[in-house]
Structure 1
């Protein structure tokens, strides 16, 4: 994504979980997209100690950068913010799939329920200036 410099992207990737969570909210509302990883069989869902997690990122570059090692071969999948809020989050809540928000390259991320993320996203949209 050419909106941001490589230095800015690198800096964001180095932030702690809480900072990346806030950045995720701001960027997804600004760009009206969420990014996941997928292949022909569907979206990547990670099992973390029996908990099902969907890793998501605020920009395509971060999802692309995560598609290494065991995730190699997966492709970034753009999800419109409207679909994310109206279909994905309610469906994930029903299926008891939590969200791993903006994992770094070591896999560290803020984990939040789909319902909590829906509330946080709505609050962020109210704070964001209208585009």
Structure 2
């Protein structure tokens, strides 16, 4: 990915970045997170615990700074993400924070994310 593409995508509104995330992770069959003895976690203004995920390594690396500077990028297989990660995060009360760009992200229920991913997978 070149710098121009990176900058144009990272600056899109959160809902458009979410659509990009769905298409890219289904196409590549991988999701990216930040990991260091556990997944990176943040909270929103309401106290919800959020786990951020990105469609490509470069976007995760971009956010691995400041409080997350100790974290490294880690790839997750899409099937494992849908069948294991997301259901486990839901049980633990975490919400997925999709495609954080150091300003905002798409926040949604785990079930909606799983359904959107499965719907996109049906196109392949």
User: What TM-score do you get using the length of structure 1 for normalisation?
Assistant: 0.90
User: 2:89, 2:120 → 1: CA distance?
Assistant: 20
Q: How far off its partner does 1:78 sit?
A: 0.4
Question: What aligned pairs does 1:82-101 form with structure 2 within 5 A after superposition?
Answer: 82-101=79-98
CA RMSD, Structure 1 to Structure 2 (Å) = 1.0
User: 1:47, 1:9 → 2: CA distance?
Assistant: 26
Structure 1's consecutive aligned runs of 4 or more residues displaced over 2 angstroms after TM superposition are none
Gaps of 5+ in 1: none
User: 1:72, 1:101 → 2: CA distance?
Assistant: 19
Q: How far off its partner does 1:53 sit?
A: 0.6
Report what 1:52 is aligned to.
49
Alignment counterpart, residue 13 of structure 2, candidates 16, 22, 42: 16
Gaps of 5+ in 2: none
Report what 1:42 is aligned to.
38
In the comparison of the two structures, how many residue pairs are matched? 123
